[in-house]
Structure 1
Amino acid sequence: MRKLLILPVALLLFSCEDVIDIEVKDGKQQLVVDAWLTDEPREQQVTLTLSQAYFNQESPQPALGAEVYVVREDSTRFRFTDTDNDGIYTYNPRNRNFLRLNERVVLYIRYNSEEYYSVSQLKRVPVIDSLKYQAITLPIKPADSPKSGYLAQFFANDFEGEGDTYLVRSYKNDVLRERSNEYTLSYDGGLSPGSKSDGMLFLQPVRMGINSGLFVDKDKVTVELHSIPLDAYYFLSQVQSQTNNGGIFATPPANIPSNVFNLDPESAEKPLGLFFVSKVTRYTAIIDKNNVKSED
């Protein structure tokens, strides 16, 4: 009886091959803000583009002719200019006093007679104490990395006091791992709220999230630890969820709520995107086979 029941179910699952045409209408263009600033004395960028149709594979259209400012609590303004006319508005700070620890800053944008704003706060970030690596041989060779090599991990301690949120990024031979599944988000040194890791050494899954396959001898490994505000933590978490969302039970993609707003709450022009500021610490090491901890 079991075989008789399984066969019709199997036929039902594998015989549904009808093509369904879905009509997708283009939505209204919206301003998209990509503004991630750090306290470093290097060029800072605010990228403004316009949203486009879901199936449009072309590069986004830049939003040109905008006025862009970052304003500190003491009313000091920093103007970002689009010198290359490509929608990338830049400012070159002379020193780290451009952004100040624990101070809130405002992003102000005027575009097509509409005014937009966002508020972020520069939070503390711990120092990365060290980076260590160990030799390992995998049972099966991965398609994009060697079978034998090295796994790395960084060491840093979360500050005492709940609510510190971080973004961990890494570079291999100066190439940034920038896909959504290649950066790690951390809440109080753990992977999520409720991990009870406040004030402790970052948990191992966070420390080892810098690996993409195995490193080899003489590889250069750089780790960046960024402080991020809580709204950026949840925004980037949703980016990861939607980017890695797949399978027959995947949820439909949707615009992630923005922390950029129109000064006129009654306006029909609603922006997309994110603005946040970060302090950042880095640590770089070169893999040396003569100075390696062997696998257990």
Structure 2
Amino acid sequence: MKNTLSILIILFISVSLFSCTDVIEIDVKDGVSQLSVDALINNKSETQTIKLTLTQGYFDNSPIKPALGANVILFDQDSVAYQFKDLKNTGVYSYDGKANPLNKIGKQYALYINYAGEEYVSLSKLNRVPKIDSISYEVDKLPVKPENGPQEGFLPQFYAKDFDGEGDCYWIKSAKNNKYFSKATEITVAYDAGFSPGSKSDGLLFILPIRTSVGRELYSDKDTLKVDVYSTTPEQFYYLQFVSQVSQDGSLFSTPLSNIPTNIINRNEKSIKKAVGFFGMSAVSSMETIIDKSKAKPKK
């Protein structure tokens, strides 16, 4: 009797679950196309670029449209203007930073964009960045052959120390044989020398997981490794952290999808035209090395 009752209960639950199959038709309408701004500027003596495109409907599979004819100007705290020009008419606005790099550490910078009769503005600060002291690597072997990279090789790490004074934020990037690990899931950010505020890591050597984050794959003898540490504002730290989190979420209890926050503001608060993307200023510290198996440390 008990077995029969259990089976009936299971059948009742199953029918209840699988009977809820009514088709719900959702009318998806495209919203207003918005300006998308990719403006991550650094202090290197090289060409700096700001990419402007237009957002499009979710089901629109046509090529992304560039935002042409914009007036793009960067102002520093000393009221010096830097004009970015779309020389190739592709929506990529550039400034030649070779002769006059954007390197006023500790100063504020303001971005101004005039596009299609709308004015967009944003602020960022060029914060300090610590020097990379050294790069080392040790012999390592993974238990399973990975999709990318060798199973046996060398696991690298870099050494750098956070400045004294809480609140310094960083973005750590690395390149293997001149190819950067640039996926959203490969973003590594640091708050002081740790992963987040309150970690009591101010003024210390970056913690081990951050130092070894440059080893996205094992390296082989003669491979080239480049490590960059970018300074960021706290706002950019949280922006990059959010981008990384959203790109990795996929479970039942993951963070609900939402628009990634932006620091690009339309001066006309009543306008339906908004902007997406981010404007950030970064100072960069870099170091490059060629893996030499004779200099590798044994695995601990």
| TM-score, scaled relative to structure 2 | 0.91
Structure 2 residue aligned with 1:107: 111
* 1:204 and 2:208 matched: yes
Question: Contact 2:75/2:109 (CA < 8 Å) preserved in 1?
Answer: yes
1:194 aligns with 2:211: no
Aligned counterparts of 2:210 and 2:254: Cα–Cα separation in 1: 26
Residue 259 (structure 1) aligned to one of 257, 260, 263: 263
Is the contact made by 2:169 and 2:233 (CA closer than 8 Å) also made in structure 1?
Answer: yes
**Contact (CA 8 Å) 1:40, 1:96: kept in 2 or not?**
no
Distance in 1 separating the partners of 2:76 and 2:213: 34
1:13 shift after superposition: 11
CA contact (8 A) 1:106 1:120 kept: yes
Select which of 175, 179, 182 maps to 1:175: 179
Instruction: Please tell me whether the aligned partners of residues 125 and 280 of structure 2 are also in contact (alpha carbons under 8 angstroms).
Output: yes
Counterpart contact for 2:187–2:244, Cα < 8 Å: no
State the superposition RMSD in angstroms: 2.4
Q: Per-residue deviation at 1:63? A: 0.4
Q: State the secondary structure of the residue aligned to 2:135.
A: strand
* CA spacing shift, 1:96–1:126, aligned 2, 3 Å: farther
- Give the CA deviation at 1:287: 1.0
After TM superposition, the structure 1 stretch with the greater mean CA deviation from structure 2, 63-72 or 95-104, is 95-104
Report the AA paired with residue 174 of structure 1.
N
Provide closer, same or farther for how the CA distance between residues 278 and 153 of structure 1 changes in structure 2, counting only shifts above 3 A.
Answer: same
Q: 2:36, 2:277 within 8 Å by CA — same for their partners in 1?
A: yes
Alpha-carbon distance in 1 for matches of 2:75, 2:204: 35
* Separation of aligned partners in 2, 1:13 and 1:228: 52
Q: SS at the partner of 2:132?
A: coil
Which of 16-25 and 245-254 deviates more?
A: 16-25
Alignment of 1:145-156 (within 5 A): 145-156=149-160
- Shift in CA distance, 27/263, structure 1 to aligned 2, threshold 3 Å: same
- Does structure 1 residue 248 correspond to structure 2 residue 252? yes
Deviations 1:40-72 (A, max 9, x none): 111001111111122434432100000000011
For residues 12 and 197 of structure 1, do their structure 2 counterparts lie closer, same or farther at Cα, with a shift above 3 Å needed? farther
Larger Rg: 2
**How big is the shift at 1:145?**
2.7
Indicate how the Cα distance of structure 1 residues 108 and 13 shifts in structure 2: closer, same or farther if over 3 A, else same.
Answer: farther
Aligned AA (1:169): K
Residue deviations 1:212-239 (CA, integer Å, cap 9, x gap): 2211111111000000011111111111
Alignment of 1:156-167 (within 5 A): 156-167=160-171
Moved more, 168-177 or 243-252: 243-252
**In structure 1, the residue corresponding to 2:242 is in which secondary structure?**
helix
Are 2:274 and 1:290 equivalent residues in the alignment? no
Question: Is the Cα–Cα contact under 8 Å of residues 170 and 191 in structure 2 kept in the other structure?
Answer: yes
AA paired with 1:194?
Answer: G
TM-score normalised by L of structure 1: 0.92
Report how far residue 250 of structure 1 moved: 3.5
CA contact (8 A) 1:40 1:95 kept: no
Q: Distance in 2 between matches of 1:283 and 1:9?
A: 65
Alignment of 1:1-296 (within 5 A): 4=6, 22-95=26-99, 97-296=101-300
Q: Which runs of 5+ in 1 are unaligned?
A: none
2:37 is matched by which residue type in structure 1?
V
Question: CA offsets, 1:233-258, max 9 Å, x none?
Answer: 11111111111111233344221121
Aligned length: 296
| Bigger shift: residues 98-107 or 154-163 | 98-107
Find the aligned partners of 1:10 and 1:132 in 2 and give their Cα distance: 59
Shift of 1:17: 10
Cα shift at 1:119: 0.6
Q: Is the 8 A contact 2:53 2:64 kept in 1?
A: yes
Q: Is the 8 A contact 2:186 2:244 kept in 1?
A: no
Letter in 1 for 2:73: Y
Relative to 1, partners in 2 of residues 1:86 and 1:151: Cα closer, same or farther, differing over 3 Å?
same
Q: Which moved more, 1:28-37 or 1:46-55?
A: 46-55
Q: 1:58 to 1:172 in 2, by over 3 A?
A: farther
Structure 2 residues not aligned, in runs of 5+: none
